[in-house]
Amino acid sequence: MSFREHRARWLSSGVGLIAIALIAVFAVQPPAANQQVQSALIGHRAPPVSGPSVTPSPFTTLGGLTGRWVIVNFFATWCTPCQVEQPQLASFVATHRSSGDVQLVMVIYNDNTPSVQGFLRAKGGVWPAVQDPGGQVALNYGVSGIPETFLIDPNGVIVGKVTGGSTATGLDALLAKAKARGL
C-alpha cells in the first residue's frame, strides 16, 4: 500500500469517527421543546383568530373564548416537529378536558384541509383547527417558523410564547406559572 493510500485511509477513518461522535452527541440531547421566548406581543391583546374549524369542534372567534385560558398553536402536517408535538397536545387537552379551564385552538399554517383532517383523525385532535388563508393570522402573531404556541389569559392578553415543539408538561408549567402570577 502506498503512502497516499495509507494516508487516505487514515483520513477517511478520522472523518468517520468524528461524524459518529457528532451523531452520538446530538442523539442524546433532549429535544428542543418548550423554548419560552420573548415576543413583542406578550402583555398585549391577542390578535384575532377567526374562521370555520376544519374539525368537528366548532369555533368562530378567539373573542368567543374570553374568560378561559387559550392555547393558540400554529401547525402544519408537513412539519416534523409539529408531528412530534401532536401527542403532547392531545395529552394536554385530555388532562384539562374535565376542568374546561383551557381551550386549544390550532391555526393551520400553509397546509390543506384534507391533509389536516386526516392527520388529526389518525393522530388525535379534538379541538378546533382553523384555516389561515393568505397567512394573515400567522403574520399578525409574528410567526416565523412552526410550531409556535401562544398562551392567552382569560382577558385575551398574550402571556407566553413557545417556539419549537411543546410538551404537555411544559404547557402545564407555563399555565401554572401564569396562574400563579394572578393572571
pLDDT, residue 26, reads: 38
Name residue 48's amino acid: P
The H or E element that residue 58 is part of is none
Long-range contacts, stretch 132-137, CB < 8 angstroms, 24+ apart: 132/51, 132/107, 132/108, 135/109, 135/110, 137/47, 137/48, 137/49, 137/107
pLDDT tens profile 4-51? 665 667 656 655 445 454 344 333 334 445 555 556 779 999 999 988
Q: What is the pLDDT of residues 64-120, one digit of tens each?
A: 888 999 999 999 999 999 999 999 999 999 999 988 899 999 999 999 999 999 999
pTM: 0.78
- The grid coordinates listed for 68 are 378561559
pLDDT beyond 70 at 52 = yes
